[in-house]
Amino acid sequence: MDWEKTSINLTMTNDKYAKGKMVRNFNNIVANPTKEQIDLLVEGLIMLSDGDAFLKAEIIKHDEMITQ
């Protein structure tokens, strides 16, 4: 299987969101994001937000499988 792309879903909480949560999706990130890279991304989003707090991250790897 060949790596195609990696995506990350970040769940943020804020009283302003419906049901108190919002999932932000980022596509085409680096193949193997480190905890430090994810922490930096979350930190930037929190600084730019209006009171968001980080809840969880979900990393999704998309691999391509070609059958001959």
Extents of the domains making up the chain: 2-63
Q: Give pLDDT, residue 4.
A: 86
The pTM (predicted TM-score) of the whole model is 0.84
CA-CA distance, 55 to 24, in Å (whole number)?
11
Q: Give me the numbers of helices (H) and strands (E) for the chain, helices first please.
A: 1, 3
Q: Give pLDDT, residue 34.
A: 95
Mean pLDDT of 12-27: 96
What is the pLDDT of the chain when averaged over all its residues? 93
Cα–Cα nearest to 61, from 39, 13, 29: 29
Residue owning tokens 């596509």: 27
User: pLDDT grade, residue 63 (50/70/90)?
Assistant: confident
CA-CA distance, 23 to 1, in Å (whole number)?
28
Secondary structure letter of residue 32 according to DSSP: S
Q: Tell me: the pLDDT tens digits for 23-55? A: 999 998 998 999 999 999 999 999 999 999 999
